[in-house]
Each structure stands twice: as C-alpha cells, then as structure tokens.
C-alpha cells in the first residue's frame, strides 16, 4: 500500500488523524484520514503520496504547499444551486488517495507518487494568507479542489475555520473517501460539497480507483445529514459506468437516500491521463439526463458540453426556464422562486 522510501525534509508538519500501529512493527503508524486506513512503515508514504512516516510519527508534506490556486465561477465545481453566478477562490495541493486512469488533474494528483521527489511542488501558503487573498478578491467562498482535498486536510481545516470567522463559505470538491473521523472534523466548517459518485458498481471502484463504493455512499449520506448543500457528479465513461441499469440504480440512490432535490451532474468524459477511449457520445448524456428525471430527481444536469439544454435549470413543477447557462456563463431569471408557479428552488444563496 505504500510508495517508495523517501528522504526526510524540513518542510514536513505533524499530521492529524493517525495512530501508532505497534502490532505491525516498531514505529509503524496507521493513517486514519481516509477509508484506506494505510498502514505505513518508517520512511514510507501512504497511497496519497503526501503523508510520510518519519520515525514513528506521521507527517504531511502539504500543510503549507499550495500547488494550484485560481478564481473560479462556482459553477465550475460544479455547484449550480449554491450562490449561482458567484466566484470562489479555489486551491489544491499535490496528492490523491485514488488511482483513476482517467484523472483530469493527474499532474497534481499522481505525479508525486511516482516522481521520487522528496518534497511537493507548490508555493508556501498559510491559512491567514489564503483568507487575505480571498477577501481582497471579493469572493464569497473558498473551494478545496483540483486534486483530492482530503489529503491536505490539515491546511483545509485551518483555512476553513478562518474562512468561517471571516464570513466566507467553504466548499469541498471531493471523491468522498474521507474516514468518519475526517468528516466529523470537517462538520461545522463545510457549507457545500460536490462529491464524485464515479459509478454505482463496486467493481468499477476497485478496477478504476483502487477503492470501494460503500465508503463513498456513506460519506454522501453523512454530508446530507450534516446539513451541507450537496451536489453529485458522475463522469460518464463509455462502456465502463454508463449502462441504463447502473445509471438507474445510481439515480434511485440519490433520490431515496439523499433526496430528490440533490442535483446530479452527468459529465462528458474526454480522453485523459492513461485512459484513451473516445469521448462520451452526446446521446449517452441525454439518455442519462432522462433516466435521472424519470427516477424522480428534480435537478439533473449535463456537463462538459457547452450549450447543451441540460445545462439549464428548469422549475421542477412547471418546467419554466429559471437559469440559462452556457458553460460557466449564467443568466438568472429567478430569485429562488419560480415566477410562473411559485415553486421554491432547492439550494442556497439565491438573489
């Protein structure tokens, strides 16, 4: 479960959420950050590539190393029902606890695992500096995204606490593989989350991600219970997770266990990283859109095809057009209430 032996560097910080594992050997530790629960020998790293056992203590390489930072439309997360039309300060570090061959951000997520580098790429960044940058930019939120924010938990937690103190919202964009302890620690700070539900097949998760399905489903259930605003994204990969049967089961899970108002984004796959099969046909996305609506979901969207009608928000009761989108450009025709029938839209931050 571990990467190659690495050399100690002074930019390490003691990690959170781990414990000694003496049953495995002297100075072994068990990481309790995500559902992999890596057992890590001295001088080794966990699967994520950014948590290292140094003489029996688990260190993080990314407590203050931000590798990507941008101002993004909140729709890019994607979040369509959380302060629509607003901008968010997005940040991420290196590292990821999944091994997806179709990763869209593989240089951030995976390179550190195989590069042999003793330290992570990125600029030094402290939570206070991130908050100052967000306030100067005039955004209303901070998004933890790009790679997998679980692996930079220490930076995220401190930044989210400061953000909340300064009236900023916190957004998590994640694969949903947090341990129960990790999710509990984040509760009270996270306002909204977009979780990847990559498939409704445990076989897919094992084959494509090196993970399991059920822990992801549990994270989604808990996030909804916590009161976070939750949206779901599924990257539709031809021949892998796009059968009618699987999509029907996935949509039924969202409706029955998360709620019919949880938006589902069905996104187009484009060849990336190690997976080079052709892009998702538009007909497959339209079919998934129909399956979601027939399952009783009120808000189903098509992603990665600018100009597709499935980008728009319609009233779930009377089908009135309420938000028109082309890519990340948003034209709003509602303050959260349908002007035609009075239906209140689900979501947060309508203006």
- Identify whether residues 21 and 78 lie together within a single domain: no
- Identify whether residues 147 and 47 lie together within a single domain: no
- Identify whether residues 71 and 106 lie together within a single domain: yes
- Identify whether residues 101 and 148 lie together within a single domain: yes
- Identify whether residues 116 and 69 lie together within a single domain: yes
- Identify whether residues 322 and 223 lie together within a single domain: yes
* Eight-class DSSP state of 110: T
Q: What is the H or E stretch that residue 159 is in?
A: helix 153-165
As given in the structure block, the two tokens for residue 78 are 């994607």
pLDDT at 115: 87
Domain that holds residue 22: 13-60
- Identify whether residues 17 and 112 lie together within a single domain: no
Residue 346 lies in a domain: no
- Identify whether residues 190 and 154 lie together within a single domain: yes
Q: Is residue 171 within 8 Å of residue 82, measured between CB atoms?
A: yes
Q: How far apart are CA 102 and CA 110, in angstroms?
A: 11
Q: How far apart are CA 175 and CA 26, in angstroms?
A: 33
Residues of the chain with pLDDT under 70: 1-11, 351
Question: Mind listing the pLDDT tens digit for each residue in 113-167?
Answer: 988 898 999 999 999 999 999 999 999 999 999 999 999 999 999 999 999 999 9
Query: 22: buried, middle or exposed (CB in 10 Å: 19+, 13-18, 0-12)?
Result: exposed
Could you tell me the CA-to-CA distances from 267 to 78, 238, 302 in Å, in that order?
Answer: 10, 12, 6
* Phi (first) and psi of residue 192, to 5 degrees: -145, 155
Domain count, the chain: 2
pLDDT at 11: 60
SS3 226: helix
Q: In CATH, what number is assigned to the domain containing residue 316?
A: 3.20.20.70
- Identify whether residues 21 and 144 lie together within a single domain: no
pLDDT at 3: 29
Q: Is 257 left (phi over 0), alpha (psi -120 to 50) or beta?
A: alpha
- Identify whether residues 33 and 175 lie together within a single domain: no
pLDDT at 203: 97
Q: Is residue 57 within 8 Å of residue 11, measured between CB atoms?
A: no
Angle between helices 282-294 and 244-253 (to 10 degrees): 40
pLDDT at 6: 32
Residue 341 lies in a domain: no
pLDDT at 307: 85
Q: Give the residues across from 231 on adjacent strands.
A: 194
- Identify whether residues 190 and 290 lie together within a single domain: yes
Residue in the block written with tokens 């306002």:
191
The model's pTM? 0.95
Task: Please count the helices (runs of H) and the strands (runs of E) in the chain.
Answer: 9, 19
pLDDT at 333: 85
pLDDT at 10: 43
Could you tell me the CA-to-CA distances from 202 to 113, 195, 206 in Å, in that order?
Answer: 24, 17, 6
């Amino acid at each position: 479960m571990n990467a190659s032996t690495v050399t100690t560097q002074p930019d390490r910080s003691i990690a959170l959420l781990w414990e000694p594992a003496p049953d495995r050997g002297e100075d072994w530790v068990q990481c309790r950050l995500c559902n992999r629960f890596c057992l890590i020998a001295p001088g080794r790293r966990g699967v994520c590539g950014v948590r290292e056992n140094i003489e029996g203590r688990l260190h993080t390489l990314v407590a203050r190393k931000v590798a990507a930072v941008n101002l993004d439309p909140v729709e890019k997360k994607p979040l369509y029902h959380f302060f629509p039309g607003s901008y968010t300060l997005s940040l991420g570090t290196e590292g990821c606890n999944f091994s997806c061959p179709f990763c869209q951000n593989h240089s951030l997520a995976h390179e550190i695992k195989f590069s042999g580098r003793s330290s992570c790429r990125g600029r030094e960044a402290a939570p206070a500096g991130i908050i100052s940058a967000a306030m100067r930019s005039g955004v209303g939120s901070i998004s933890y995204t790009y790679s997998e924010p679980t692996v930079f938990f220490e930076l995220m937690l401190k930044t989210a606490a400061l953000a909340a103190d300064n009236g900023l919202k916190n957004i998590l964009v994640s694969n949903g593989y947090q341990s129960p302890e990790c999710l509990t620690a984040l509760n009270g700070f996270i306002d909204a989350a977009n979780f990847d539900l990559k498939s409704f097949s445990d076989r897919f998760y094992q084959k494509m991600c090196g993970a399991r399905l059920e822990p992801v489903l549990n994270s989604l259930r808990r996030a909804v219970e916590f009161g976070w605003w939750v949206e779901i994204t599924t990257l539709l990969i031809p021949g892998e997770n796009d059968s009618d049967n699987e999509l029907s089961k996935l949509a039924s899970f969202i409706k029955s266990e998360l709620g019919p108002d949880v938006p589902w984004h069905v996104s187009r796959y484009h060849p990336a990283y190690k997976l080079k099969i052709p892009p998702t046909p538009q007909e497959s996305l339209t079919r998934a859109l129909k399956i979601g609506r027939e399952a009783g979901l009120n808000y189903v969207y098509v992603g990665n095809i600018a100009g597709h009608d499935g980008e728009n928000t319609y009233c779930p009761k009377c089908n009135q057009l309420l938000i028109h989108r082309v890519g990340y450009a948003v034209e709003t025709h509602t303050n959260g209430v349908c002007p035609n029938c009075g239906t209140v839209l689900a979501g947060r931050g309508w203006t």
